Amino acid sequence: MTRTLTARDRQRLVGVHPDLVRVLERAARDGAIEWFVTEGVRSMDRQAELAAAGVSRTMRSRHLTGHAVDLAVRGGESGVRWDRPAYEALAVEILAAAQAEGVAIEWGGHWRSFFDGPHFQLPWRDYPA
């Protein structure tokens, strides 16, 4: 089944680095998991709000510069799955799409400090802000 990013996804990707958008386009087209974009670029106010709520642990988020996205896996009773295995499977597809596109990418599920399964970003070393 061939899929594309939805109009809503594309709206949420406005201002996101083109390399990251290209990875998501490939993952949507080639992958089997149904997902959607929850957030791309964030304002400083939004980041401060998330940090104050404990949802984010930094004020240097890659979301501020368009170098990160958060995705959600479709499914479950609420329409969204938040279980770790769902994001581990999604990461396999996103990382494969990144490799196919020749784009370095980091997944928040690989972080030692905490698990952030929905988060994907372009690395600082390859994409300085």
Query: What CATH architecture applies to the domain 7-121?
Result: 2-Layer Sandwich (3.30)
Confidence (pTM): 0.94
> How far apart (Å, rounded) are the C-alpha atoms in residues 55 and 12?
19
Residue 29, pLDDT score: 96
Q: What is the pLDDT of residues 92-113, one digit of tens each?
A: 999 999 999 999 999 999 999 8
The average pLDDT across 14-32 equals 97
Structure tokens at 96: 């494969």
129 has a pLDDT exceeding 90: no
> How far apart (Å, rounded) are the C-alpha atoms in residues 40 and 11?
9
Q: What is the pLDDT of residues 55-100, one digit of tens each?
A: 888 899 999 999 999 999 999 888 999 999 999 999 999 999 999 9
